[in-house]
Structure 1
Amino acid sequence: MFSEDNSSYEHGSVLSSSDIAIPRLIRFWIMLPFYIPSVICSLFILYNFMVRRKLREALHYHVIVLLLFINFIVQLTNIPWILNYYRLGKVWPQNSFFCLVWIFIDEALYITITILFAWATIERHILIFHDQLLSTKYKFIFFHYLPIAIILLYSICYNTIAIIVPPCQNTFDYSQLVCGYPLCYYEVSSLAMWDVIVNHIIPTTIIIFCSLLLLLRVLYQKFQMHRPIRWQNHRKMTIQVLSISVLYLVVYFPKMLLEFIHLCGIPEEVGADLMHYADFFVYYGNLFLPFVCAGSMPELKEKIKKLFLNYRRRTQVIGPQTLALSPNAGDPQFKF
């Protein structure tokens, strides 16, 4: 249920009444240089995952690569639409179907990425400390594939109900980013509370708690118990999760916290300016995620190093030529 309009619904009126100090064209140009390398990095990781069997068989990469694939969809749809909005200063094309698709991708994929990564922090404990839970075929399906399937199914069902067929009427504003974020279910207190708590607060709490606990457990077993726990492999898996956790908390946590305090009754005017900046910088999480993942995957780091070394060798071979005259001949001789 939706309506085409040039003014956003009441919930978004405060946030759409002002904007951040950075002009739209400046925002376009400071986002574009990150966007292109980010897409290339995503393609590089996904390609290597498809062609390299070792990466496909590593269980700790499955959820991470799924996150990257979903993030890649965001990079190919949501980010270009945002850049186009910054370039034009308005939504284009201006029709309700496009707005509905944009809002669904923006909201549904964000929720999916958040909950999936929360599960990844839990699963990392299973892979490192409780691998016996994956010892049989049925345990493997139950503890590895079933949670992922449930998360994807929940995200599709929830966002279809909340965005495609909500119990209220969305009103689109083509002068605002993402058509004014017309999520009218925020006007229904029970739905709004469910969204913030279940889709944002709980996953974020899990990410923080499980990431810190993982670090403490790994350090404890290394320095206190002196166990030979395949430290090198476990260290890599721990660093990977912690790196993504830091990125998530730095980029997404401020926006989530502001949404929560507004839902608790704090006036939306409080922190409104900060919310505008949070809405802008939140998309840098999608841009930086491929780089963080590539940097935490040793197999890809080695391949990237080899590519750079080969490039440097080629540039050295095709170096500047020095022209020298032979003392016994008038013909020039080339020395390298």
Structure 2
Amino acid sequence: MEMFENNKFVLHRIKFFILIILQISAIVISLLIFAFFITHRAILNILQNQALLALIIVNFVELVADLPMPISFYYLGYVKPATNGYCIWWTFFEYNLHLISELLVATISIQRHILIFQANIFHNRFKRFMFYYIPLVLCFIYPIILYIIIIILYPCDGTQWDYTSNLCGYANCYLIYNKVLGTFDWAANNGSPVVIIMLANMTLVIRVIRHKRRQRQANSWKKQRRMTIQLLTISSLYLFAWLPSLIIGVTQQLNSPSFLANIQTDYTLDFIYLIALLSPWIYLKLLPELMKWLGNLLHRGQIVHNVVRPI
């Protein structure tokens, strides 16, 4: 028992240092990205960058408002404050951010097909509103309404929480006591977006390759390749972060709650935090204009430093 607690302490401390180091760097890069979009409105007018900015904002909220809670848990080794209300708020807030982020990437994956192959659809204001902006807005509205109903309003006495596990043991009443709701949340809410992301990316690659062979236009291919690589890179991070916990979570709901339970709580569920922690680094590579802007800032700073340095 003592060795088990020591192992837990070491694991928690390792997670604490990894999370806080990655969090600080991700926040700095995110702030630079926001500054870039504010000073480059023309870049923000590009339709695909608007959806990307919405995704960056959601990930930034997770970095500054949600991640401090698991970081605090891994530092202390227990949930503080250990109350029913805190666990309800924490799970409601985190589940919302994760599902909104997933739905946004799934929506962006579908919209990217239209942007590459039928961009003229979005030239019409009504169609742009209906097929671009409304789906993005629904990605925010649906999770909030859903989790108000199944987390906040779900009748439960609050005695099921595990204050010695991250996110209070993921012990929401609907996950423990309602197999239908639990399976729906894991499979339909979290699983469906992942399936859509995979299928949309695979078909996009096939369509782009076939289109390149037919068109043989260098300029058109360059734009398509850039938009495709942008989507593939972001989607790959989401698939890596979500697939392990999804497979285990659905199996637990359908078969046995104890299936790989320790692996799930100690490792795979923490992979989901990597989305917010690593995505700002990906955006740096995916926005060449951003890299040029940062390079110019560093160059100017170096010139100023050299000018004011005393002889």
Alpha-carbon distance in structure 2 between the residues aligned to 1:61 and 1:18: 47
The question of 1:272 aligning with 2:267 is answered: no
CA contact (8 A) 2:12 2:74 kept: yes
Give the one of 95, 102, 108 matched to 1:114: 102
Among 279, 295, 301, the residue aligned to 1:289: 279
| Residue 236 (structure 2) aligns with | 246
SS of the equivalent of 2:222 reads helix
What corresponds to 2:221 in structure 1?
Answer: 231
Paired residue for 2:70? 82
How many angstroms apart in 2 are the aligned matches of 1:97 and 1:273? 25
Q: Is the 8 A contact 2:59 2:275 kept in 1?
A: no
Map 1:19-38; keep pairs closer than 5 Å: 22-38=10-26
The alpha-carbon distance between structure 1 residues 313 and 47, as it changes in their structure 2 partners (threshold 3 A), is closer
Between the two proteins, the alignment pairs up a number of residues equal to: 304
The 5-angstrom pairing of residues 1-336 of structure 1 reads 22-170=10-158, 171-186=160-175, 187-227=177-217, 230-265=220-255, 267-275=256-264, 276-310=266-300
Q: Deviations over 1:288-325 (max 9, x none)?
A: 01111222111112122333444566777899x9xxxx
Say if 1:221 and 1:227, in contact at 8 Å, map to a contact too: no
When structure 1 is superposed on structure 2, of 256-265 and 171-180 the one drifting more is: 171-180
TM-score between the two structures when normalised by the length of structure 1: 0.82
Counterparts of 2:7 and 2:113, CA distance in 1:
42
Q: Post-superposition shift, 1:259?
A: 0.8
- Consecutive unaligned residues of structure 1, counting only runs of 5 or more, are 1-16, 322-333
| Separation in structure 1 between the aligned mates of residue 210 and residue 38 of structure 2, nearest angstrom | 36
In 2: Cα distance, 1:119 partner to 1:169 partner: 37
List per-residue Cα deviations over 1:10-45 (Å, max 9, x = no partner): xxxxxxx99868521222112221110101111111
Cα distance, 1:176 vs structure 2: 2.0
Alpha-carbon distance in 2 for matches of 1:32, 1:110:
19
Query: 3-state SS of the aligned residue for 2:161?
Result: strand
Local SS of the residue matching 1:222: helix
Q: More strand per residue: 1 or 2?
A: 1
Question: Partner amino acid for 1:223?
Answer: R
Percent sequence identity over matched residues?
28
- TM-score, normalising length: structure 2: 0.89
Shift of 1:62: 1.4
| Counterpart in the other structure of 1:7 | none
Deviations, residues 79-103 of structure 1 (Å, cap 9, x unaligned)? 1111111111112233333222211
- In structure 2, stretches of 5+ residues that fail to align are none
- 3-state SS in 2 of match to 1:270: coil
